[in-house]
Amino acid sequence: MNSTSVVHIGCVMLAVAAGFLAPVTAADERPNIVFIFSDDHAPHAIGAYNGWLKSVNPTPNIDRLAEQGMLFEQSFCTNSICGPSRAVIMSGKHSHKNGFMNNGNSFDWDQQIFPKLLQQAGYTTALYGKSHLKGQPQGFDDWKVLPGQGLYYNPDLITPQGRTRINGHCTDIVTDLAVEWLKQGRNADQPFMLMVQHKAPHRNWMPAERHLTLYDDMDIPEPNTLFDKWHDNAPPARYQELEIDRHMHLNFDLFVDLKPEFNGNALMGRFDRSAWRNMQRMSPAQLEAWYAAYGPKDAAFHRDAPVADDLVRWKFQRYAKNYLRCIKGVDESVGRLMQTLEDLKLDDNTIVIYSSDQGFYVGDHGWYDKRWMYDESLKMPFIVKWPGTIAPGSRDASHMIQNLDYAETFLDLAGAPIPADMQGRSLVPLFKGKSPEDWRKSIYYHYYEYPSVHMVPRHYGVRTDKRKLMHFYQFDEWEFYDLANDPDELVNQYENPEYAAEIAAAKRELERLRTFYDDDSDVRVKPAAWQLEMRTTESAN
């Protein structure tokens, strides 16, 4: 043994003793981790969650993962928007602590994040797909990420060597990169953490060619609240811009008559033109498949153009089918990754997790998108398979978990120390069937991105297993819901004297959580003149 080796071993031993590294043996048997993360995948669009979309059978591979592992029914985000959710996962800290409160921010990669700590603990790490945090990722031995939101067809990817374009559908490309790394790119002498982060099923819902006609022979079930008019909500719910009726664009969102030569820039308004722009870089073969699928549908729409409620229903069908088609690609990715692990004989010692950055409205309350603290966007899927530890087919219906807990969980699985300033808790005890007496009984939520796309105002709130309190602080408007008797959150009980004591208790809990998480962010935003006018008009009516 040379002197360099002696010095290296001595440094490692000191680091282990100091608690900076987990001990690494020659035959490291710590579990590998594959974290599959989609974008905007609502739990009720997963068969295993038994939601109203289950009859469509949208996710057979994800359902199989649930059959082999554990599904968490009470899984929530801390801030229902793409970048902030990812920042919370990376840091194990709420948005106000990690500095990434809305998609306009830039993530500080120099801060403490769990991938760096995993590397220090002897793990090799990789990230492929959507990052949405800006800047170059740190803490990964290999990475290839989409610039911003990225494109569905023939996307560019940013790599350590620069930007490159890969032809194909984004979901397949991200899966290909992950599979290739599993087969050839990783260090086989180290345990690994692989993050596979899909763009799908984010707007503008452009499915892969093979899925363009999926569901053409059926109607997607409508949500019970498709025609909700938000009469009992605080005013902000009536002044948003995410309605299928008024805000979902026939051309840009639903692809009616959409072609590369479409004069999209001539239309004035806040539209998401990404689908149209993406078509301009599709290959002739891709465009031919696209027109073959959507041309007949568009012709049928023009022959018998629906109006009023029938138009809303038509829009819902076109949107929901494209959304679910994109999910089909993600589900196939899950199946392919699981099969790759089996083929490589890695499945017995690999923990596989499926999650998404938040929930989504698939016509619920007449909406699409997310952002609100209402359950459809607050809830996020979390399914985990851990062979030999988690009993197959397990369901946790009681413990409230958040994306705030993921970093701590990954570190715990790796046997690495969890920094004291992280704000979540490891889920490992729950994986093992334990029920800690001091587990949280409420979760804290804070959304900041306003004014911005969809015009959902800033708000924070607290949710327990049966109650929810929300404060739209720009307007000083409150909502309180009895979730046990009103799971669709249709009746705001804030002014109901029968709930006065419960509301007072919820306010105390909200302030306790704000103090506990040290959320001293400035929430007293002065409303603009038009906002004050809106509030006055609502009061008068």
Domains of the chain, CATH where assigned:
34-205+326-434 (3.40.720.10), 445-540 (3.30.1120.10)
Q: What is the mean pLDDT of each run of 10 residues along the chain (541 residues)?
A: 37 41 58 98 98 96 98 98 97 97 93 98 98 96 97 98 97 98 97 98 98 98 97 91 96 97 87 96 98 98 96 98 98 98 98 98 98 98 98 97 98 98 98 97 96 91 98 94 97 98 98 96 55 49 42
pLDDT at residue 268, rounded to an integer: 82
Is residue 326 a contact partner of residue 207, using CB atoms and an 8 Å limit?
A: yes
Give this prediction's pTM. 0.93
pLDDT at residue 161, rounded to an integer: 94
The DSSP string of 332-392 is: HHHHHHHHHHHHTT-GGGEEEEEEESS---SSGGGB-S--SSSHHHHB--EEEE-TTTSPT
d(CA 214, CA 56): 11
Amino acid at residue number 384: V
Give 3-state DSSP helix, strand, coil % of the chain, rounded to 5.
40, 15, 50
DSSP state of 86: H
Name the residue among 304, 311, 342, 329 with its Cα closest to residue 182: 342
pLDDT at residue 527, rounded to an integer: 52
pLDDT at residue 17, rounded to an integer: 41
